[in-house]
């Protein structure tokens, strides 16, 4: 005979006719649990790869010290503009050692903004932005091109494939060059594209070396626009062109407005900038360097979608999930946990913090139209230059 306890259990078992449905429901719930576990493991692996890359070539035990030294260059921590300009090489190198893995995690291989059409993904807009620049330069197969401040080479690879040119990436950060070379090999462009480690204020190239030169949101790190443009002018062949997207303050920026100054300081610390020049100063420096300006324009106002949309926490997108408020919340807590257990170097969370400060500054600057990351110009070195 059944005991009372066994009888009770028996009553709660599914009846034979409902057993198939019960079994199917169990399988469905199990699949959900497995999917969640797989996603969590994948997310952990991604966060671990991100955190383990923090610091670049800096010894992992010295990351926190590097963060503190970097922060002290900036206004938020009592730093001065002249000190940033005098020590721009150290400041910018520390910055990219600290942030490159975060950039690649959130942005992909091309670390820049782009005008964006409705229905267009962030990555599609970035490629189109790079193609536009190549078309403006009139690049032709076999030409020798220089990418000034190339990052890990995302634009370099895209433009080389798009135009069938040979592109040299100039970069003063060893960690980014090492990463760029790996990606070049993976993309199969390592035979036609290369990297040179050097300061773009003192390029190691002979005069008149390149058929075209471009810079994408990179020469904003130069302490002096004229000095940088003059070096580009020197290495460019006569009659050839230089095109760039510059980070600039617009005419709407008021240097006496405290809110504007705060936004400017947030962008500077979060993006490794000695200063942010106005569009007028960039144009003036180009002409002083000897260039003939073919045309120039801030492309931001004409963008159907705001250029800062990927960083706007009120916007959600699955295609750029890691940049959304939810994605950043997940990343922040994963990095915090990895740092707590010692799998990420101390200081990783501080890097995440000043990058988020930069995002806030960029969105605020974009909304108020006092800042643009896409002041475009196309300039020619005279034939007699």
If one counts every other C-beta atom within 10 angstroms of the C-beta of residue 98, the result is: 27
3-state secondary structure of 241: strand
> Edge-to-edge strand order for the sheet containing 166-171?
194-197, 166-171, 144-148, 210-216, 236-249, 371-380, 292-298
Q: Are strands 371-380 and 236-249 parallel, antiparallel or unpaired?
A: antiparallel
Residue 11's pLDDT is 47
Query: How far is the C-alpha of 166 from the C-alpha of 153, rounded, in Å?
Result: 13
Query: How far is the C-alpha of 299 from the C-alpha of 34, rounded, in Å?
Result: 46
pLDDT per residue rounded down to tens, the chain (385 residues): 445 555 454 444 555 556 666 666 777 777 777 766 666 666 666 666 665 566 677 787 888 888 888 888 987 778 888 989 888 888 998 889 888 888 888 889 999 999 999 999 999 999 999 999 999 999 999 999 999 999 999 999 999 999 999 999 999 999 999 999 999 999 999 999 999 999 999 999 999 999 999 999 999 999 999 999 999 999 999 999 999 999 999 999 999 999 999 999 999 998 999 999 999 999 999 999 999 999 999 999 999 999 999 998 876 555 555 556 666 677 777 778 777 877 778 888 888 888 888 899 999 999 999 999 999 999 999 998 5
If one counts every other C-beta atom within 10 angstroms of the C-beta of residue 35, the result is: 10
Which tokens is 148 given? Answer: 């000034």
Residue 9's pLDDT is 47
Query: How far is the C-alpha of 380 from the C-alpha of 313, rounded, in Å?
Result: 40
> For residue 61, is it left (φ>0), alpha (ψ between -120 and 50) or beta?
alpha
Query: How far is the C-alpha of 69 from the C-alpha of 375, rounded, in Å?
Result: 31
Backbone angles phi, psi at 239, to 5 degrees: 85, -5
pTM of the model: 0.85
Residue 221's pLDDT is 95
Backbone angles phi, psi at 196, to 5 degrees: -130, 125
Cβ burial of 61 (10 Å; 0-12, 13-18, 19+) is: exposed
Using alpha carbons only, how large is the chain's radius of gyration in Å? Answer: 25
């Amino acid at each position: 005979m059944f005991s009372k306890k066994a009888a009770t259990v028996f009553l709660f078992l599914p009846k034979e006719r409902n057993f198939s449905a019960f079994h199917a429901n169990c399988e469905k719930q199990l699949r959900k649990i497995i999917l969640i576990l797989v996603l969590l493991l994948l997310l952990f692996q991604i966060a671990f790869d991100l955190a383990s890359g923090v610091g670049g070539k800096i010894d992992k035990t010295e990351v926190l010290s590097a963060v503190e030294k970097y922060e002290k260059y900036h206004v938020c921590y009592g730093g001065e503009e002249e000190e940033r300009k005098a020590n721009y090489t150290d400041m910018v190198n520390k910055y990219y050692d600290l942030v490159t893995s975060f950039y690649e995690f959130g942005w992909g291989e091309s670390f820049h903004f782009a005008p964006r059409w409705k229905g267009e993904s962030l990555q599609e807009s970035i490629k189109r932005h790079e193609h536009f620049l190549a078309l403006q330069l009139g690049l032709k197969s076999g030409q020798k091109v220089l990418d000034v401040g190339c990052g890990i080479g995302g634009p370099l690879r895209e433009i080389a494939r798009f135009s069938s040119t040979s592109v040299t990436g100039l970069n003063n950060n060893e960690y980014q060059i090492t990463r760029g070379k790996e990606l070049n090999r993976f993309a199969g462009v390592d035979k036609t594209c290369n990297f040179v480690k050097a300061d773009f204020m003192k390029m190691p190239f002979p005069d008149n070396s390149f058929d075209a030169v471009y810079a994408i949101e990179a020469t904003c790190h130069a302490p002096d626009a004229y000095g940088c443009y003059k070096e580009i002018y020197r290495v460019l062949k006569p009659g050839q062109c230089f095109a760039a997207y510059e980070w600039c303050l617009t005419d709407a920026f008021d240097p006496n407005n405290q809110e504007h100054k705060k936004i400017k300081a947030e962008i500077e610390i979060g993006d490794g900038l000695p200063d942010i020049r106005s569009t007028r100063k960039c144009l003036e420096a180009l002409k002083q360097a000897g260039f003939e300006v073919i045309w120039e324009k801030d492309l931001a106002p004409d963008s159907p979608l705001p250029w800062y949309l990927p960083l706007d926490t009120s916007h959600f997108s699955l295609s750029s999930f890691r940049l959304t408020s939810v994605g950043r919340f997940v990343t922040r807590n994963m990095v915090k946990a990895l740092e707590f257990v010692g799998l990420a170097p101390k200081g990783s969370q501080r890097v995440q913090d000043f990058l988020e400060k930069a995002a806030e500054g960029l969105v605020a600057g974009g909304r108020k139209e006092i800042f643009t990351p896409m002041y475009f110009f196309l300039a020619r070195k005279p034939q007699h230059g």
